[in-house]
Structure 1
Amino acid sequence: MSDVVQPRIALGVSYDGSAWQGWQKQPHGLTVQDTLEAALARFAGQPVPTVCAGRTDTGVHAAMQVIHLDAPVLRADTAWVRGVNAHLPPSIAIRWAREVSPDFHARFSARARSYVYLLLEDQVRSPLWAGKAGWSFYPLDVEAMQQAAGYLLGEHDFSSFRASQCQAKSPVRTLHRLDITRRGRFVVFSFTANAFLHHMVRNFVGALTYVGRGRESVQWMADVLAARDRRKGAPTFAPDGLYLTGVDYPAEFDLPLHDASDEIRFGV
């Protein structure tokens, strides 16, 4: 008897990371992947392993995470959305589902990822934005940060901005976009790269805020990048304001993707 081919399904997932210990499965079970796979198992009646486009850390949010799974049951796309969501807590939701070709891989097929970091600039912290935005009680010079950001664009060895526990084989990445804008009391950082190292975005934000508050010069950013030494940079910034907003794939996969950056930027 021939083996039954399991269709590969791609899912778009959003989550509020405040209550979760990151994406990746852990023995304690308090992660987004653990919770999502438990919901998938209840829906499908058996375990359903998943693969994501990019792991997010504790407290980091996703407006548009992408995962894939090999479905052990045949269900309509709408059933994967509504059926799985019925077993998920309010902080996690499937946004869309699409059957894809067997060669699709949520991580390795991705061409780029985009993140937004929201930073509240205020003398006093706001409990309404706790867990949803970073905070700086120092006034920040956006123009100086924009100038410093220019040194980071393009392909570089980003060793100065990777976590010590980063498991990536190479520290070389290509940063396509780094925009910094002010919206009222918020400074909004928007990043797009082919891929990111562990803590790379939060380390960027930490270094940029050093420039923005006048603690370091614009040129300092170039010096930190050239040093290829994490000890030369600024402390890793809080995860609260970090959102995975989009994953880019070749058009051949025909996914209903959009970059959710504007949803985050215009929400402040």
Structure 2
Amino acid sequence: MSEVAAPGFVRVRLDLSYDGGEFHGWAKQAGGQRTVQGEIEDALRTVTRSGETTYELTVAGRTDAGVHARGQVAHVDLPEELWGLHQEKLLKRLAGRLPKDVRVWALTEAPEGFNARFAALWRRYIYRVGDRPGGVDPLLRSHVLWHDWELDVDVMDAAAKSLVGEHDFAAYAKKREGASTVREIFDFGVRRTADGVVEIEVRADAFCHNQVRSMVGALLFVGDGHRGVEWPRKVLDARVRDSAVHVVRPHGLTLEEVAYPAAGQLAERQRQARRVRGQVH
């Protein structure tokens, strides 16, 4: 994964969103399962008439199967000639070629030092839960989890606040060989919207696999009274998976936003992130 585009190529930023319900996650997989990356790369190859050549996307957050995105960011390195030939019509052509559950909203030439994954300052997710006895609004059923116990939002918010800061989140992560589980959470809070939906919002430099959905599972146990407000922090400090922490279903989770530093700070941010993730090139 290069820090900069190769000579003769242009790095292009894509801002996009998708409904994850019918996707097997972001990343391409062996076996032909439908993925967001696969759909966009196929569409890009078609509208640029690139034949058998696939230009591979790098994404800010590799969402799991069933997880949605409203503010996802990716980049792709395209030959200068191809970008010059197609850039003015590329966005509209992609809209005509892509399936309706994924949209690319903007295609822009990225500034020097930009990398969708490593230059990101933070990612912000919201998990939405409904706790009405009658269930979830049918129009929201694909984006809101129904929890059949009434939730105490204030207690959940206090428990969420106890996880803010830089910690080893091994207790809330699906361990990957050679990958660090240390992350920094900047904000973590719980609120109830005017229509009664409980929103669990978290912003961090990055997230481990299944981390957000595991933390939400712990907060739901606190909110419905099965565990005390101090329990999520005790689980964190133990640094081992607790069988009582459930990974909640993916459809309530949406990647809302990814933030980047000013153009002049992109390269340094990318170097910092690569060092932390152990991927210095």
8 Å Cα contact 1:9-1:71 kept in structure 2:
yes
Shift of 1:48: 1.7
Give 1:250's match in structure 2, choosing from 247, 261, 267. Answer: 261
Q: CA RMSD in A?
A: 2.0
Alignment match, 1:31: 35
Query: Is residue 57 from structure 1 mapped to residue 64 from structure 2 by the alignment?
Result: yes
8 Å Cα contact 1:160-1:229 kept in structure 2:
yes
Alignment match, 1:8: 11
AA aligned opposite 2:71? M
Query: Is residue 40 from structure 1 mapped to residue 49 from structure 2 by the alignment?
Result: no
Q: Distance in 2 between matches of 1:118 and 1:187?
A: 6
Shift of 1:100: 1.4
Give 1:96's match in structure 2, choosing from 73, 81, 106. Answer: 106
Inter-CA distance 254–153: structure 2 relative to 1 (3 Å threshold): closer
Local SS of the residue matching 2:255: strand
Q: Distance in 1 between matches of 2:117 and 2:55?
A: 17
AA aligned opposite 1:34? G
Shift of 1:233: 4.7
Give 2:132's match in structure 1, choosing from 90, 106, 122. Answer: 122
The one-character-per-residue Cα deviations of 1:186-239 (angstroms, maximum 9, x if unpaired) are 100111000000111111110000000000001112211111111255110111
Inter-CA distance 18–78: structure 2 relative to 1 (3 Å threshold): farther
Local SS of the residue matching 2:83: coil
Local SS of the residue matching 1:203: helix
Q: Distance in 1 between matches of 2:14 and 2:90?
A: 8
Q: Report the TM-score, using the length of structure 1 for normalisation.
A: 0.88
Alignment match, 1:259: none
Alignment match, 2:270: none
Alignment match, 2:200: 189
8 Å Cα contact 1:62-1:243 kept in structure 2:
yes
8 Å Cα contact 2:111-2:263 kept in structure 1:
no
Q: Report the TM-score, using the length of structure 2 for normalisation.
A: 0.84
Shift of 1:80: 2.9
Inter-CA distance 116–97: structure 2 relative to 1 (3 Å threshold): same
Alignment match, 1:224: 235
Alignment match, 1:19: 22
Higher mean C-alpha displacement, 68-77 vs 244-253:
68-77
Higher mean C-alpha displacement, 200-209 vs 41-50:
41-50
Higher mean C-alpha displacement, 95-104 vs 71-80:
71-80
Query: Is residue 74 from structure 1 mapped to residue 77 from structure 2 by the alignment?
Result: no
Q: Distance in 1 between matches of 2:220 and 2:42?
A: 39
Q: Distance in 2 between matches of 1:66 and 1:155?
A: 24
8 Å Cα contact 2:161-2:189 kept in structure 1:
no
Structure 1 stretches lacking a partner, 5+ long: 256-268
Give 2:164's match in structure 1, choosing from 153, 159, 166. Answer: 153
8 Å Cα contact 2:192-2:199 kept in structure 1:
yes
Inter-CA distance 108–24: structure 2 relative to 1 (3 Å threshold): same
8 Å Cα contact 1:77-1:96 kept in structure 2:
no
Indicate the percent of aligned positions where both proteins have the same amino acid.
Answer: 36
Q: Distance in 2 between matches of 1:168 and 1:206?
A: 26
Q: Distance in 1 between matches of 2:244 and 2:112?
A: 42
Query: Is residue 140 from structure 1 mapped to residue 151 from structure 2 by the alignment?
Result: yes
Give 1:198's match in structure 2, choosing from 191, 209, 213. Answer: 209
Shift of 1:12: 0.3
AA aligned opposite 2:14? L
Higher mean C-alpha displacement, 104-113 vs 244-253:
244-253
Inter-CA distance 226–254: structure 2 relative to 1 (3 Å threshold): closer
Shift of 1:143: 0.8
Local SS of the residue matching 2:162: helix
Inter-CA distance 60–160: structure 2 relative to 1 (3 Å threshold): same
Query: Is residue 176 from structure 1 mapped to residue 186 from structure 2 by the alignment?
Result: yes
